[in-house]
Amino acid sequence: MNSTATGEKLRHVLRSIMDETGVEGMIVFTMDGFPVASEIRATGEMLEELFSAIGAGLASLAENTLKNIGMLPLSRLTIESPRGNILLEKANQEIGIMALAGPSIPLGIMRVAIQKASTEIDRILGREQT
Amino acid sequence: MRKPEEQFMELEKEIRRKLENHLPAIEKSLMEMDDLSPPEEMARQFLLEIIKGNGEEAADLLSLKMLHERMSMGELVSSIGHVLKQMHLEREVMDEIQKLASVYLAVLSERMFHHFLRAVSSITGMSEKLLRNFARLNLEEKLSIDRKDEQYAGG
């Protein structure tokens, strides 16, 4: 499968998870900060590259903090604001997923959205372990 | 095409050839200098090692010293300027020494850049590739702002 088809497939998956859960943005990125796929409804502008770099930075900082106090691995990172929440998880060693949602979406739903995306990413990128 | 290191070595050889007759006097003058401030003393030692032909090792060592002392590149360049001024050299000799120092200041900058990159990477856990990605995004954002400014200025 070529990279455009894979990217489109990933975006389709993200769109359907967002429709199902009410999450307003999902970004899949490499830990070097490069975008893999994204759907962001919360902002008019496409900020895929910036969110990918910030997501990778946040995940690295969080992991390094946990490493320094012997609390690895990182399960997830939550950023809460009165205007919404951001949840970040690593799908595997190389890939991170970030979900953005308004305050009315419970964090539990955001976790489900990320877990679904993680499973689909593994399947689409051929990393599913049997 | 020649490698940058070869061009660099050739440039150094050429400067040394021009300075050949002056090198012993420059070295003596640098060795006899006193009453220097700590940054000027670092600059003097750097210049002395460059003149002796140990520029690369000196750049390595100085990059670590500068980090330890929290000394900026600007401070070093200004201190080199002060030291050279106190040597009362002929204009042409001064120009050639400045050229030679510039070559090793470039080596020093490169070493400093790597120390910073490694330090930030080690403390934050961000890969060097991610840090370079941040720099690229920041540059692109700046270029985009500059372009918008130009559009406004032109329109």
Q: What is the nearest CA distance from B148 to chain A, expressed in angstroms?
A: 16
Q: What is the pLDDT of residue A42?
A: 60
B32 and B108: one domain?
Answer: yes
Q: Is A20 helix (H, G, I), strand (E, B) or coil?
A: helix
> What pLDDT digit, counting tens, does each position of B52-67 carry?
999 999 999 999 999 9
| Beta-carbon contacts below 8 Å between A and B | 37
pLDDT band with cut points at 50, 70 and 90 for residue A130: very low
B54 and B115: one domain?
Answer: yes
C-alpha span between B33 and B41 (Å, rounded)? 9
B22 and B87: one domain?
Answer: yes
Q: What single DSSP character describes residue A47?
A: -
B98 and B37: one domain?
Answer: yes
Interface test with A, best of B122, B132, B133, B144 (most A CBs within 10 A): B133
Domain range for B81 is 4-124
Number of domains in chain B: 2
Q: What is the pLDDT of residue B7?
A: 77
The stretch B23-28 carries a mean pLDDT of 91
Residue A88 sits at the chain B interface (C-beta within 8 Å): no
Q: What is the pLDDT of residue A39?
A: 92
B119 and B148: one domain?
Answer: no
Nearest CB neighbour to A50, from listed B126, B127, B137:
B137
Q: Which of B5-9, B18-22, B45-49, B147-151 has the lowest mean pLDDT?
A: B5-9
Residue B129 sits at the chain A interface (C-beta within 8 Å): yes
Q: What is the pLDDT of residue A1?
A: 54
Q: Quick check: B112 pLDDT over 50?
A: yes
pLDDT band with cut points at 50, 70 and 90 for residue B28: very high
Q: Which of A52, A45, A75 is nearest to A63 (CA)?
A: A75
B60 and B92: one domain?
Answer: yes
Instruction: Answer whether A57 sits within 8 Å of B124, measured CB to CB.
Output: yes
* Neighboring chain A residues of B137 at a CB cutoff of 8 Å: 49-50, 53
Return the sign of the alpha-carbon dihedral for residues A8, A13, A16, A17.
Answer: negative
The stretch B33-54 carries a mean pLDDT of 94
Is the pLDDT higher at A2 or at A129?
A2
B36 and B76: one domain?
Answer: yes
B8 and B33: one domain?
Answer: yes
Q: What is the pLDDT of residue A129?
A: 46
The stretch B149-153 carries a mean pLDDT of 79
Ranges assigned E (strand) in chain B: none
Q: Quick check: B77 pLDDT over 90?
A: yes
B75 and B148: one domain?
Answer: no
Q: Quick check: B11 pLDDT over 90?
A: no
Q: Which structural domains are found in chain A, ordered by start? A: 3-124 (3.30.450.30)
> What pLDDT digit, counting tens, does each position of A46-74 carry?
588 989 999 999 999 999 999 999 999 99
B152 and B117: one domain?
Answer: no
Phi and psi of A36, rounded to 5°?
-105, -50
What the block records as the tokens of B116 is: 């910073």
Mean pLDDT taken over chain B: 89
B37 and B100: one domain?
Answer: yes
Residue B127 sits at the chain A interface (C-beta within 8 Å): yes
Q: Which of A20, A52, A22 is nearest to A37 (CA)?
A: A52
State ipTM. 0.79
